[in-house]
Amino acid sequence: MSLRLAIILPTYNERKNLRPLVAKLDAALKGIEWEAVIVDDNSPDGTADEARAISLDDPRVRVIERIGRRGLASAAIEGMCATAAPMVAVMDADHQHDPALLPQMLAALESGDYDVAYGSRFAEGASAAGLSSKGREKGSQLANKLARKVTGMELSDPMSGYFMLPARILRADAHRLSGVGFKILLDILATVEGPLRVKELPLTFAQRAEGESKLDRTVVFEFLIGLYDKWLGRIIPTRFALFGTIGAAGVVVHMAVLTTVLRLNGGDGFVFGRWITEFDVGQSIAAVVAMTFNFVLNNALTYADKRLAGFGPLMRGWLRFAVTCSVGMLSNIGVAAILVRSGFHPYPSAIVGIVIGSVWNYALSSRFVWGKYK
């Protein structure tokens, strides 16, 4: 008998969920040759060690441990590319996705009648009871409505994280998937050329067993990111667009703080004798506030998948961000100054400086603030 199915389990802090899940897979997949690929992003709770321990007892379980990387979508893609099984499934490792659907998905695909099968929380007979909040349920439904417009497909739950497809379909287009965020099924549906025949199976979406959800960006936000990524992401990368938008909001914050400081001070010009003007003070306070504002928003949104948490990491990240931004500012001023001296008009020169400074800030901070080897 040869391998028929690989179940990809992206994990982040799911140590306690693994053993019971493998037992459930074993029970649900009797008579089917399967393997499970656990793709763990070096979870602090030791998920990868637990996965290796399970693998020693049961070699059908394999482990990919990624160091310095985060992200559900990219983990799922790498897992799907790391198996020889002809069919690949992706599911949450937290027991929210009922393994009993796997044989039905497999049967639908092996019959040749379908190209993708997935578990829908909103199909006839399904239940989304496990969605952590009403808001999240609403968000999911709205995102689904939008998704239907984009893919042109009538799916009740394109944001589902539980699906199966032939590995060759996935691999043929793997290089074109965005790998950002968590709308991986949607990404596949929107990327693969030609109409896919989709089999929908009603899923009873359970509460997660142990631990907590990592996907606390709202589905709607995630979805908008996904849309942007598909439409413009190739010209201006999604993360950079977010970074830039937040940077622009930072400029507004800067101006507001500067204005406030100047107003409060009554405009009599000097604060500390003749060398330090109130403008210098206002400009410095505004720069620090705007920089902090940018740091917080980038940490929450742009790098939500690599978010820094806890006092120590946040302070270190903030300091690194500050250093990065000062280098960016120097290159900004430097480039603009050179341009003006070579006869360019000040405004375009300023813009070129700003763009170069932002690219620099982005490149450096994604490496040194939210990147690997922190």
**Start-to-end C-alpha separation, the chain:** 46
Say how many residues touch ligand GDD, by CB under 6 A. Answer: 26
**Contact region with ligand GDD (CB under 6 A), list: 214-222, 280-288, 294-302, 362-370:** 214-222
238 binds Mn ion (CB under 5 A): no
Does 96 engage in binding with ligand GDD (CB under 6 A)?
yes
Q: By CB under 6 A, which span of 99-107, 210-218, 292-300, 344-352 interacts with ligand GDD?
A: 210-218
Q: Which residue from 318, 319, 331, 321 is spatially nearest to 360, judged by alpha carbons?
A: 331
Name the residue nearer to Mn ion (CB basis): 91 or 190.
Answer: 91
Per-residue tokens: 5: 């199915």
Q: Tell the smallest beta-carbon distance from residue 140 to ligand GDD (Å).
A: 5
Work out whether 52 is an interface residue with ligand GDD (CB under 6 A).
Answer: no
Angle, helices 72-80 vs 184-191, to 10°: value is: 60
Name which of 213 and 326 has its Cβ closer to ligand GDD: 213
Stretch that binds ligand GDD, among 37-45, 49-57, 313-321, 347-355 (CB under 6 A): 37-45
Q: What's the rounded Cα separation, in Å, for the pair 342 and 316?
A: 39
DSSP count for the chain of H helices, then E strands: 12, 9
Rounded alpha-carbon distances, angstroms, from residue 251 to 91, 294, 313, 356, 362: 42, 9, 25, 16, 16
Encoded amino acid at 297, one letter: L
Supply the minimum distance, in Å, between the C-beta of residue 105 and ligand GDD.
Answer: 15
Please choose, from the candidates 85, 88, 91, 37, the residue with its C-alpha nearest in 3D space to the C-alpha of residue 64.
37
Q: Which of 14, 200, 229, 278 binds ligand GDD (CB under 6 A)?
A: 14
> Whole-angstrom Cα distance, residue 55 to residue 70?
22
> Closer to ligand GDD at the Cβ: 229 or 305?
305
Minimum distance, C-beta of residue 239 to ligand GDD, in the bound complex (Å)? 15
User: Which amino acid would we find at residue 87?
Assistant: M
DSSP 218-243: -HHHHHHHHHHHHHTTTTS-HHHHHH
Locate 153 and state its tokens. 């497909």
Q: List the x/- string, 204-233, binding to Mn ion by CB under 5 A.
A: ----x-------------------------
Q: To which H or E segment does residue 144 belong?
A: helix 134-151
158 touching ligand GDD, by CB under 6 A: no
Residue 366 as a binder of ligand GDD (CB under 6 A): the answer is no
**Measured on CA atoms in the order 231, 233, 239, 242, is the torsion positive or negative?**
negative
| Partner from ligand GDD, Mn ion, none binding residue 93, C-beta < 5-8 Å depending on class | ligand GDD
Compose the 175-194 pattern: x for residues touching ligand GDD by CB under 6 A, - for all others: -------xx-----------
Give the footprint of ligand GDD on this chain (CB under 6 A): 10-12, 14, 39-41, 70-72, 75, 92-94, 96, 140, 159, 161, 182-183, 208, 213-215, 219, 305
